[in-house]
């Protein structure tokens, strides 16, 4: 598979195709990246967002601090700020695997040779998406109810299994490791199966916490003092 070179933007989060991610740009190397993207806006340029392994810093550990699979992003909104800073809105486009990181250059974002990963559906994908979607709506209702919000407020998932898998992965509140596992899932079916397992786990946790809170309230044992 042919590799292309992309500028990298390491972050402590995971971006999925189709998801939006706001960024505050203040470092010189990333300000230069944004300015380059603005100049090339007619080309629909992309850059690579890749998660940093928990507990590691890019400067101290180099490429070992980066997960091998990330997601490209495109600019969908740019707001210039004083001092050359920017607030930008980005949107995830497609997954990639890092093949080789280039040597660093002063005041320039790191660059890497990457290959793009395909996401295609199988005959099983739609059934898996239906199962994951049902669990997602159960999860969402439980989270909203726990927060005292309307659990029946509308939220529509995409019908396409690929888009459905990415939307669920982007919306469910998971730690970085689980989100990265979803991004790295080799196939759409693998991502939907993993999302299903994680949703069942999260629903169980919410149910147990809600039950425990109810028991404590019924006993009248809680005191804020």
pLDDT category of residue 219 using cuts at 50, 70 and 90: very low
pTM of the model as a whole: 0.87
Exposure string over 91-113, b if 16+ CB within 10 A, otherwise e: bbbebbbbeebeeeeeeebbbbb
**3-state SS, residue 181:** helix
Among the listed residues 143, 195, 188, 194, the one whose alpha carbon sits nearest the alpha carbon of residue 168: 195
**The two structure tokens encoding residue 221:** 């044992």
Task: Say what the pLDDT of residue 34 is.
Answer: 95
For the chain, list the domains and their CATH numbers. Answer: 4-116 (2.30.130.40), 125-219 (1.20.58.1480)
Strand segments (E) across 26-174: 47-51, 69-80, 86-101, 111-116
Q: What is the largest CA-CA distance in the chain?
A: 65
Count Cβ atoms within 10 A of the Cβ of residue 16 and give its class: 0-12 exposed, 13-18 middle, 19 or more buried: buried
Average pLDDT over residues 102-110: 90
Instruction: Give tens-digit pLDDT for 142-183.
Output: 999 988 999 889 899 999 999 999 999 999 999 999 999 999
Kindly report the backbone phi and psi dihedral angles of residue 52, in degrees, each rounded to the nearest multiple of 5, phi listed first.
-90, 135
Instruction: Give tens-digit pLDDT for 108-121.
Output: 999 999 999 999 89
Task: Say what the pLDDT of residue 43 is.
Answer: 87
Each as own residue / partner, the long-range contacts of residues 143-147 (CB below 8 Å, 24 or more positions apart, any chain) are 143/173, 143/206, 146/206, 146/209, 146/210
Task: Say what the pLDDT of residue 96 is.
Answer: 97
* 215: pLDDT strictly greater than 80: no
Instruction: Give tens-digit pLDDT for 16-66.
Output: 999 999 999 999 999 999 999 999 988 889 999 999 986 545 554 455 689
Task: Say what the pLDDT of residue 3 is.
Answer: 81
């Amino acid at each position: 598979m042919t590799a292309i070179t992309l500028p990298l933007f390491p972050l402590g989060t995971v971006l999925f195709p189709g998801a939006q991610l706001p960024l505050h740009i203040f470092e010189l190397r990333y300000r230069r990246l944004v300015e380059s993207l603005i100049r090339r806006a007619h080309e629909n340029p992309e850059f690579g967002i890749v998660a940093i392994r928990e507990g590691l810093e890019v400067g101290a550990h180099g490429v070992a601090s980066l997960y091998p699979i990330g997601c490209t992003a495109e600019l969908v909104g740019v707001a210039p700020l004083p001092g050359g800073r920017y607030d930008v809105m980005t949107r995830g486009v497609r997954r990639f695997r890092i093949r080789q990181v280039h040597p660093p250059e002063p005041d320039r974002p790191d660059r890497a040779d990457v290959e793009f990963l395909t996401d295609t559906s199988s005959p099983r994908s739609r059934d898996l998406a239906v199962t994951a979607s049902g669990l997602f709506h159960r999860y969402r209702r439980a989270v909203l109810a726990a927060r005292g919000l309307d659990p029946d407020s509308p939220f529509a998932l995409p019908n396409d299994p690929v888009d459905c898998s990415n939307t669920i992965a982007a919306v469910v509140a998971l730690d970085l490791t689980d989100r990265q596992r979803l991004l790295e899932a080799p196939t759409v079916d693998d991502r939907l199966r993993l999302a299903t397992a994680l949703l069942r786990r999260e629903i169980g946790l919410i149910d147990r916490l809600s039950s425990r809170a109810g028991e404590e309230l019924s006993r009248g044992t809680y005191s804020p003092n």
